[in-house]
Amino acid sequence: MADLPYPDPWRFQAHIEVWLLVAFLIAAWIYAVRVIGPRVVPAGTPVVSARHRWSFVGAIVLLWLSSDWPVHDIAEEYLYFVHMVQHMSLTYFMPPLALLATPEWLLRVIVGEGRAYRVFAWFSKPVIAAVLFNAGIMISHVPGVVNASVSNPTLHYGVHVFLVTASLLMWMCVCGPLRELRIGPFPTMIYLFLNSVVATVPAGWLTFAEGIVYRLYDTPVRVWGLGVTEDQQIAGAIMKVGGAVFLWSIIVALFISRIAKPYGTRQTYRTEPTLTFDQVSAAFEQSPAPAEPVTPSGTTEPPPRA
């Protein structure tokens, strides 16, 4: 078979750094659960729950699939919409699972109770975390940043680290393991809605942009036959619809589980029958007359004067 003029986009590329990261996270979580947990958790209390285990599995699977071949290679070299799916997985889907997989005792062991905890709590404030998260989303879609990060591995991983860190902080007040940092259901709905609005700005601009926005994705090899403009439009649609649908689904679930359901148990559409005048009169006639008060001497006490 003759050599192709361009490399095969589906050729296998090993990412040792991703394998080492995934292996480290798995080993660290297992060590924390089996060694550290029994020392800090009161006797008779489970170290982790089934929710922690399944959330950890989900977070690791998303991290691995988003960072390894072939998603990573197609996302960084050929299709920007796959790049968008990769970033959404690392910022919208994986971080909440990672927080749900973290027991409260584990995070308290990590951040402690001193200065590190105060710094961590400050960055986890909803306003601070939302500003960092949305700033990362906006900056990471600037053409200069995208073109530079794709061709620079150090900058590329730095952008990913910042996005994942900012995302973890953003989700901390929603589903973080520390109760004192979480906000109530109604503020959470407003918070998630506001976070879904900012992303529509670069998404709308990308969807309706004319010409090539990211020059590094203008390659002769077109995966699945998608042109550059089609690729950009699909990426913008995914960013606009995907993130909003995910966040709004959480908002709807919160409304149903925390507000609508308790409201329904307190309210009823069943109406009580209205009493008529005859029913009230009959009830008074059937009731015995009140007995007159008797004095200690045995005589009937006259009614008090007005």
DSSP bridge partners of 300: 294
Stretch among 3-12, 15-24, 29-38, 123-132 having the lowest mean pLDDT: 3-12
Percent of the chain with pLDDT over 70: 81
pLDDT at 48 over 50: yes
Q: What is the mean pLDDT of residues 272-281?
A: 64
**Type of residue numbered 201:** V
* Per-residue pLDDT at 2: 43
- 195 burial (CB, 10 Å; 0-12 / 13-18 / 19+) is buried
* Per-residue pLDDT at 293: 58
pTM of the model: 0.79
Q: Give tens-digit pLDDT for 169-182.
A: 999 999 999 999 99
Evaluate whether 109 touches 176 at the Cβ level (below 8 Å): no
* Per-residue pLDDT at 260: 63
Dmax (CA) for the chain in angstroms is 127
Cα separation, 159 vs 237, in Å, equals 22
Residues 6+ apart with CB under 8 A from 178: 104, 107, 108, 172
* 32 — pLDDT class (breaks 50, 70, 90): very high
Cis amide prior to 302 (ω within 30 degrees): no
* Per-residue pLDDT at 1: 39
Cα separation, 207 vs 232, in Å, equals 6
CA angle 144, 241, 223 (to 5 degrees): 60
